Copies of this chain bind each other. A is one copy, B any other.
Amino acid sequence: MKEVKAFAPATVANVACGFDILGFAVDSPGDEIEMKLVDKPGIVIKDITGDEGRLSRNPRENTATVSVYQFLEKIGAEKAGIEVTLHKKMPFGSGLGSSSASTVAGAFAVNALFDNPLSMEELLPFAMEGERVACGAAHADNVAPALYGGFVLVRSYDPLDVVRLNVPEELCCAVVHPHIEVSTKDARNILRGEVPLADAVRQWGNVGGLIAGLEQENYDLIGRSLQDVVVEPIRSMLIPGFDEVKRAAVYAGSMGTAISGSGPSVFSLCKGMEKAERIANAKVEAFKAIGIDSDKFVSKVNKEGPKIIY
């Protein structure tokens, strides 16, 4: 019987100034999924590894498989039988788009299983549906970069308008995930409903600078634009030692450092892998100095999105 194994990448949403509109994918970590066509109709989750029993084994409730039903309906294959094994290879609640990686892996794998009837653009709504099940809202700022790879701008949600951006070749990312819990809901609830116009203007100036920097491959401009004057001053209070960690990253050569998604992971962008490694170590040390353990993930900005392993 036909079988595929697919990988989908972790993602950094918000990217400093781009709250709710920007995200990018990284080469690692990411989730893997195996899907096998079987005779018996229906979707069965055979196994999930790496989730410590936290994810639902019910395929209608699992973020990796919920959109597979819609996919099968779309291509007229409702009676297909599929066995699924999900390998969670990244932390939950880390601000690295864990549910998006699973949902994109699922959508990408089932498309491959049926010889890719849908384009990535056509798959996006399916993947967003998986995100809706996981988060209660169909956000796209993790799902879209996980699916497309690279940097992605969600210009608008209504109607959905997703724009792929250029990624300079040497752009690398150092993410450190401190072992503390920040719920996405809390991170959203502490935000103010209104922002000073002057801060909003600074923020959209930086969004403009970041996108111009990416398109023009101007690393200095990217670095100058990685500032968040609206969300970070509030959300960083949920991450002990954030200021020290950010300072350590700057000393180690980071172009810009900010909260990944709703946290608690802290990402830095820089030029080249060597520097990324140094920055990640500096951030791990800074968290350690205040008694917080952390994981580091160092990689290039991922340009390809999900891929087939076999």
| B17 pairs with A205, CB closer than 8 A | no
Distance of A223 from chain B, by nearest CB (Å): 11
Interface residues of A in 231-287 (CB under 8 A from B): none
Residues of B within 8 A of A25 (CB): none
Q: How many copies of this chain?
A: 2
A193 part of interface (Cβ distance < 8 Å): yes
Centre residue among A20, A191, A211, A216 by max chain B CB count within 10 A: A211
Closest B-chain residue to A201, C-beta based? B20
| A154 pairs with B205, CB closer than 8 A | yes
Residues of B within 8 A of A166 (CB): 215
| B224 pairs with A156, CB closer than 8 A | yes
Interface residues of A in 184-201 (CB under 8 A from B): 191-197, 200-201
Which residue of B195, B202, B211 is within 8 Å of A156 (Cβ)? Answer: B202
| A193 pairs with B197, CB closer than 8 A | yes
| B163 pairs with A209, CB closer than 8 A | yes
Q: How far is the CA of A206 from the CA of B230 in the complex (A)?
A: 17
Centre residue among A21, A193, A204, A215 by max chain B CB count within 10 A: A204
Closest B-chain residue to A221, C-beta based? B163
Q: How far is the CA of A230 from the CA of B200 in the complex (A)?
A: 10
**Chain A interface (Cβ < 8 Å from any Cβ of B):** 17-22, 153-156, 161, 163, 165-166, 191-197, 200-209, 211-212, 215-216, 221, 224-225, 230
The 7 nearest A-B residue pairs measured at CB: A215-B215, A155-B209, A204-B204, A194-B194, A200-B200, A204-B207, A21-B205
